[in-house]
Amino acid sequence: MSDYLLDTCALLWLSDGGGELSQKAISEINASRFVYISAISAWEISLLCFKEQIKLPVSPEEWFRQITENQDIQVINLTPEIAFLSNNLPSKHKDFADRFIIATAVSHNLSIVTGDKMFAQYPVTIIQ
């Protein structure tokens, strides 16, 4: 049984009853001991709301608090080590938020739930 780190899209999909998550991903999440999210996802969700790319029923702060509490998701804070590692990863993925998520997974030895195929180019296990 693995512990999982959700990327931002996976968190949004989970909040939407599964959204584009595969049945395998949903089963893995439900069976895991711990599910995590990077603190960078709070920033990314807030940015998506600011740019009006997503619409949430409440403020991004309240939505993030509710989803993490209701789904028992632990938030992993950004550390200097994660910040440095995100810049030391091969530059295959240009999205800085995703690079923080990958660095978080590497530093905590977590598998990532994502729909982003670019993650497979890094030394992490992904569940799509």
Check residue 1 and give its pLDDT.
59
Identify the segments of the chain with pLDDT beneath 50.
Answer: none
Range of the domain at 40: 4-127
Check residue 90 and give its pLDDT.
86
Tokens for 94? 């240009």
67 phi/psi in degrees, rounded to 5: -65, -40
Residues whose CB is less than 8 angstroms from the CB of residue 121 and which lie 6 or more positions away in sequence, other chains included:
90, 92, 93
Number of structural domains the chain divides into: 1
pLDDT in tens, 32-69: 999 999 999 999 999 999 999 999 999 999 999 999 99
Check residue 43 and give its pLDDT.
97
Check residue 56 and give its pLDDT.
95
Residues whose CB is less than 8 angstroms from the CB of residue 115 and which lie 6 or more positions away in sequence, other chains included:
7, 9, 10, 13, 20, 21, 128
Q: Which of 112, 94, 116 is nearest to 102 (CA)?
A: 112
Q: What's 111's domain CATH number?
A: 3.40.50.1010
Determine the Cα–Cα distance for residues 99 and 21; give it in Å rounded to an integer: 21
